[in-house]
Amino acid sequence: MTKNEKIKKTLNETKEKRKNQIPVVYQLKVNLKSVDKMARKRLFLLFLEAKWFYNYLVADIQNRVSDDAYKIEKVTIKVGDTYEERNILNLSSHMKQSIISRIKQNLYSLHKKKEKGQKVGKLKFKKKVNSIPLKQYGNTFKFKNKNKTQIKIQGFKKPFRVLGGHQIPQDAEIAKAEIVKKGPSIYIYVTCYINKQKYDKTRKNIVHNFGISAGIDFKPSGIVLSSGIKVEWRIEETKRLKKLQRKLSRQKKYSKNWYKTIEKINKEHKKIDNIKADIINKVTAFLSYYKKVVFQDDDIASWKEDKFSKSVHYSSVGEIKRRLRNSLYPAVEVVDKYIPTTKTCSQCGNVQEISLAERTYKCSKCGLQIDRDLNSAINMLKVVGLDRPEVTPVERKTSARILGSSPYILVSFLQ
């Protein structure tokens, strides 16, 4: 059997095996406090060298992007009005190959868009690179113990201590990883393949069910459920962030102090992102207790163009919708955005105009007075043929336990 035949046979076997598996990505955080200064410096230099290497290849794609490009050890970069040479000391050959593959994939995407008649330009230079693929488990990276608390990265003598490795099942098939820089922190996203049946069984054991369905009316900074539960949150720029941004505007660009302020701003943004992620996790965790959720396919992009742009930016309503659509639990049904759920009376079905300033729906036919968002959520359930359930004591307790634990979330009950 020739080498090509062996490769083809292995690929076919892998395809058959993947049919019964599901890819799951686990996020591990590198404990930088346990890393010595030199290794920490080299770890952050990976991203700088990745940017140099990427931009060097993009500057002359036809001559530089080749099968031997991973052997390049020196690149030319622009510093002000002059050009200087830089040595690539920390990027391994596998990492360089991954960056080359990324460039080729970007070129292929542009080619496909051009075939469809879309206007495309050239690949642009990157101001920063925040992720580096680690393609081969066992070569580019590998775990050093069974508990997966230590990970060895190619090019580094000592392994790094990571947090979160216990999430990965012992029988999981580790495929690839990606090292990601988020502000002052370093994360490793590990992609594993797990048996579908085992994964579904695990999820069923985790998720508890209220046994009822809920209609959800999304707002720029919160949600209203058909049972009358109102969840609101608001995340804004901190005073410290505004102060640092004013300070940055007065400093000389690209100076040492300018870079120091940039790092402080990145840390502050990271804190805001963590708060936002915590809110998203808590809201989606609470909604996963329902048997089925129904919401309208709103055009959130148009909200950003309106006066709610700032609220939508910090609320991450779109991310919550995306997670619900992609999750296994609960079951999700999306109502067409053109159905007038806000204008329709949830009691008699009368349709009437209501301005954005009116927060209470007053039916001119049956005299019903109800919160407009609650009215809309109830109508969503009716569109899919479901009735509105009353809020149960279990819902109240669960909302207090999950959502009430965050100081940034406010839970109230409309009816």
Give the tens place of pLDDT for each residue, 107-129.
999 999 999 888 888 899 998 99
The whole-angstrom separation of Cα 135 and Cα 268 is: 32
The whole-angstrom separation of Cα 220 and Cα 306 is: 11
Measured in degrees and rounded to the nearest 5, phi and psi for residue 252 equal -75, 130
Residue with tokens 């030199």: 38
Q: Taking all residues of the chain, what is their mean pLDDT, rounded to a whole number?
A: 89
Mean pLDDT of 370-378: 93
Q: What percent of the chain has pLDDT over 90?
A: 59
Q: Is the pLDDT of residue 302 over 70?
A: no
Mean pLDDT of 164-185: 91
Q: Is the pLDDT of residue 211 over 60?
A: yes
pLDDT at 29: 94
Tell me which of 153-162, 203-212, 291-300, 337-346 is least confident: 203-212
Give how far the C-alpha of residue 28 lies from the chain's centroid of Cα atoms, to the nearest Å. Answer: 15
* Top-confidence residue, 316 or 155: 155
Give how far the C-alpha of residue 347 lies from the chain's centroid of Cα atoms, to the nearest Å. Answer: 39
pLDDT at 203: 55
* Top-confidence residue, 211 or 214: 214
* Top-confidence residue, 196 or 76: 76
State the Rg of the chain over Cα: 26
pLDDT at 415: 66
Give the tens place of pLDDT for each residue, 59-93.
999 899 988 999 999 999 988 888 999 999 999 99
- Show Cβ contacts of residue 138 under 8 Å, excluding neighbours closer than 6 positions: none
The closest alpha carbon to 319, from 405, 206, 404, 235, belongs to 235
The closest alpha carbon to 373, from 392, 358, 388, belongs to 358
The whole-angstrom separation of Cα 302 and Cα 324 is: 21
- pTM of the predicted model, to two decimals? 0.72
Q: Are 280 and 287 in contact (CB under 8 A)?
A: no
Report which residue type is found at 333: E
